Structure 1
Amino acid sequence: MSDAAFYASLPRTRGAAAALLLDDAGRILLVKPTYKDGWFLPGGVIEAGESPLAACVRECEEELGFVPRLDGLVCVDWGPPRDGVDAVNIFVFAGSITAEQVKGIRLPPEELSDHVLVTPDRVPDLAPPHIARRMGPALRGITDGRALYLEDGYEPALG
């Protein structure tokens, strides 16, 4: 088997990138997709040949109309197969958003219908459970200054 054939035979993993953007009051920016229920962090699928960071930057530009300041990776979350969709590796980058930037958000109407800033305790009321579970560890990653590894929003026992 040639190298090309071998690599072509390997399983593929989907990837996504999201921005966990906090304002000065510690509120989280969530967006509401038009094509599914719930509220989510700005972000989306990593395209072929694109890095997770480049995907996060591109998705913020497409979804918000600007690129926020990003401070670094706060978690990688492995999402298991769900609702007929393959497993996915989600890269969450932390950043900040100013009041002026919030006022200037330009949502693509065919993709997003609204945005909101919420305190972390409100996320479970708005986001799907697998998204909400990720918030606590991701926020702790910001506080601790390190990236965390998650599986479906939970920190697995290691070692």
Structure 2
Amino acid sequence: MSELLPDPVYFAGLPKVITSGAVILRDEHGRVLIEKPNYRPHWLLPGGGVDPGEDPRRCAQREVREELGLDLPIGRLLTVDWVPPRAEIGAPMGLHFVFDAGMLPEAELRERIVLQRTELDEWRLVDEDEADLLSGWGALRVRRALAVLRGEAQADVVAHGR
């Protein structure tokens, strides 16, 4: 019979995971809101990293409030992306959750959004065929989430190789 490891030793040996929560927020024409951070070369969905003890849905709600000044109810889970670790840059594996944030008319978005200028340069509404403004896997997750919203796919975990 092998001896059990003490919890701190056992947990220290487990893989680390980066977790994030993001949203699909649409206007009345079905366009998706994306944002341009000042620290990345590509656009992103509204959202960000999960804080210790925070669940991904609450993270998404908090990030939308911080980044866009919108306090919105966050709806159902649309997709989860699993990204393997990248040892060459020291990045652990990631789990990235995307939720439905519903629809707000464009006029209301323009009136209500207060952009977090310390992190973001701008926001815009894009059609699905413009999703390539995001990273390659970012565009895939937008298209998959929209397919779930249209009833063409089921919410699922998708693994991404690098």
CA 1:58–1:41: 2 relative to 1, 3 Å: same
The percent of aligned pairs where both chains have the same amino acid is: 34
1:10-159 aligned at under 5 Å gives the runs: 10-81=14-85, 84=89, 85-98=91-104, 99=106, 100-124=108-132, 126-144=133-151, 146-152=154-160
Q: Secondary structure of the equivalent of 1:78? A: strand
Task: Give the conservation status (yes or no) of the 8 Å contact 2:78–2:145.
Answer: yes
Distance across 2 between alignment mates of 1:71 and 1:36? 27
Q: Distance in 1 between matches of 2:15 and 2:84?
A: 15
Alpha-carbon distance between aligned partners in 2 of 1:135 and 1:80, rounded to the nearest angstrom? 19
Provide structure 1 residue ranges, at least 5 long, that are not aligned to the other structure: 154-159
Q: Which ranges in structure 2 are unaligned for 5 or more consecutive residues?
A: none
The CA RMSD over aligned residues, in Å, is: 1.8
Aligned counterparts of 1:143 and 1:67: Cα–Cα separation in 2? 25
1:94 counterpart SS class: strand
Deviation string 1:105-151 (CA, Å, 9 cap, x unpaired) is 11111100100001111111x11111111122111111228412212
TM-score by length of 1: 0.87
- Give the length in aligned residue pairs: 152
In our comparison, the structure showing a higher alpha carbon Rg is 2
Answer yes or no: is the 8 Å Cα contact 1:138–1:148 preserved in 2. Answer: no
Give the TM-score of the pair, scaled to structure 2. Answer: 0.86
Q: Are the counterparts in 2 of residues 134 and 152 from structure 1 also a CA contact under 8 Å?
A: no
